[in-house]
Each structure stands twice: as structure tokens, then as C-alpha cells.
Amino acid sequence: MTKSGHHASPAGPTWIKGQDAWRTISPPSNPANQLEYYLLLPLAFLRPCAQESFAVKLGFTNSAGNKTSHTQGMANEDILTILEQRLALLDARQRLGIGKDHQSQLFDRLEKLAWSPILIRTILRTMGLYRRGISNAAKVTLRHNYIVSAHLPKAFDGFDIVQLSDLHVEMNAAAMERVVDLLGEAHFDVCVLTGDYRGGTNGRYDTTLAGMARVRESLKGPIYGVLGDHDTICMVPGLEAMGIRILLNESVIIERSSQRIHLGGIGDAHFQGMENIEKAAAAIPHDEFSILISHTPEVYRQAAHVGFNVLLSGHTHGGQICLPGGIPITLNSALPRSMGSGAWKYHGMIGYTSVGAGSSIIPVRFNCPPEITLHHLHVSS
């Protein structure tokens, strides 16, 4: 296949568009994986329309395809009052305004792209893969990651952080039940949530808050979170009423045995452009250990140069629909593919990108198991 065409030799490598360049992928050598490879490969050419489900994303339909109302349980005036108490007046109004602006800017693309989840679902059903994809998406695993640093205070050696990312709680009830079960078995000191709690980016979010309340019941200890590109600032009062502290370009201190580390959190940098890393880091001494939680890992350069020791993020879903061998068709992010999932490093900063526990557009996964992540912090020798 040429870079501009959609034709490939059945036995040869295929060109697909990466985040910053074209790259080739080759069929797996294992015959058992070759059939799935060729069945999933056509989805690589749906990339322009498969980035977002705008019918769901803009809130005009819910995950079941039904029209939704923009009326929420809390009046806009009440939400604005709470946010003005939580944030500066101008900051609160700016965040609400930007959310409305994005809705109007994307409205004209709705009719073009609303069919993309239907098309993907139809292709998977035709290939006999849809049921398998749904089953895969419900098999959430507990993944362990070890963060070892010489800068970590000794009191935090053995400190555990559980990370939940990209829950999209309305999309897959079975996956959320599995998350609840895993949390009941896990032992951790702090929980961080790296955004994308709901399936859409506009419209109703009361079902999202109800789903989050169910997950919240299984969480213990301090809980901190950030907003993702699917979330609205209007959800903050409801989330914080549950005891989930949303970090809006802020930082908090976590203390243990008279020593401390810092946890910063920023607004969504992928879609809404509400991140301010400098503000989040302003109160953190440069020589003290700090962790940044961000919905997207795309801020890795800024985070490293500001001086954060660790960056925990999500957003990419690890590709969600991957070719055999875990090769993502798309990451929907401007970053090296090596940072698209799992552990990585950039300069002196340790990074981790969760593939998420939920699913977006359609509730399926292939060759990319969903996860919640247990980070174990240790002091290096």
C-alpha cells in the first residue's frame, strides 16, 4: 500500500498514520493471530471518523442512542455559585464559557461523524468480533507498576497509589462492577482519578455522577482527581460532595511520618485547553518530591521541565482497539507512541499512561485489556 492509498499486499507490511509520521506494521508471525489482524486492519482507515462519537460526545444522544435533555438536577445559577466559591470568579466563568464554546464549534461536524460508532459496530458484527470485544472490555485487570526514585522521602517507601482512569461509567456496567470488585481487594494509601468519568462531553451528567457514587463507595483514604476532555466543570460540585477533591491547576501536600510529598493536578489539556502547569507547581518547592496527575500525557514536556518527578495520566485508552501484539490503531494524542500506555521516562521524569478501565465510542476492546493501576512507590538504593 502507498502512503496515500488504502491497498496493501496480503502478506506484506501496511502503512498506517501515526501521531506525527507514517509507519509500517507487519502481520504477526503467529498464524493464530493473523486472522484477527486482517479482520481489525480495516478499522485503521476509519481513523478520521473514529476519534470521537460526536452524537454521544456532544450530548445529543446518550450511550443507548436516545436524545437527552440539558436539564440537570442542579440549576446553573447554583452551580456557578458553588464554583465561584471554589474558584476565582473569572476562572469559574471562563471554564463554563469555554465548555459552551466547544459545543457550538463542533456542532457542524455532528452530522458527518455521528455514524462512526454505528459503522464500527457494524464492521465488528460482520466480522464476528463484536461479542468478543464486549467481553474483553468487561475484563478489567489490576495492574502493578513500581515507581523507584532516589528523591522519594524515606517515609513514603512502600506508599501505594491506586489510579483509575477513563471510567466512562455509563458505557459498560459490567466493567464498572469489575472495577468495584477489584477495589474491594486492593490495598492503597491514596487514590487518584485521571479524568473522563462520563461517555459524552455535553448534555446530561446525572447518570455519570450516579455511576461515580457507586465507584466511590469502594474507595478509601484521600481521593484526588482531575477533569478529562469528556468532563465538564459543572460536575465538580457533585464529585467533591462525594469526597473526591478535584485539582484545578492546584496542588496538595500529602504527609507521612513528618515527611511530605506534593500532588499537583491540572485541567484538561487535550480538548479544553484549561491546563496551567506553572500554577499547579507554584507552591511546590523545587527540591521536594512531586507527582502531577493529568488526564492526557501530552503535557510530558512541560511537566518534566517544570520539575515534576512523576506524571500519571490516561486518555489514550492504549488504543482500545489494537492489532495483535497490542499495536494501537490510534492513540488520539500528540505524543510518541512509546508513551501511549504503561511506564515510560522522559529526561528525569517517570511517567505512566493508564489504558483506562472503561471504553469510549463503543464498549469493546481488542488486544488492550482495561485496567486499574496500583503504583508502588519505593526509594532507590
In tens digits, the chain (381 residues) has pLDDT values of: 333 333 434 445 554 444 444 455 566 666 656 666 666 666 655 543 333 333 333 333 343 444 333 334 565 667 767 776 777 655 666 666 666 655 555 444 443 454 578 888 898 999 999 999 999 999 999 999 999 999 999 999 999 999 999 999 999 999 999 999 999 999 999 999 999 999 877 778 999 999 999 999 999 999 999 999 899 888 999 999 999 999 999 999 999 999 999 999 999 887 666 789 999 999 999 999 999 999 999 999 999 999 999 999 999 999 999 999 999 988 888 888 999 999 999 999 999 999 999 998 899 999 999 999 999 999 997
The class (CATH top level) of 1-381 is alpha beta
| Rounded distance between C-alpha atoms, residue 202 and residue 272, angstroms | 12
| 35-39: long-range pairs with CB below 8 Å, 24+ | 36/129, 36/323, 36/324, 36/366, 36/367, 37/323, 37/324, 38/10, 39/127, 39/129
CA 51 to chain centre: 14
Length of the chain: 381
Strand 141-149 and strand 160-164: the pairing is: unpaired
| Rounded distance between C-alpha atoms, residue 49 and residue 46, angstroms | 6
pLDDT at 359: 95
Task: Give yes or no for a contact between 246 and 240, defined as CB atoms under 8 angstroms apart.
Answer: yes
pLDDT at 318: 93
pLDDT at 100: 61
What are the respective helix, strand and coil percentages of the chain, to the nearest 5? 35, 20, 45
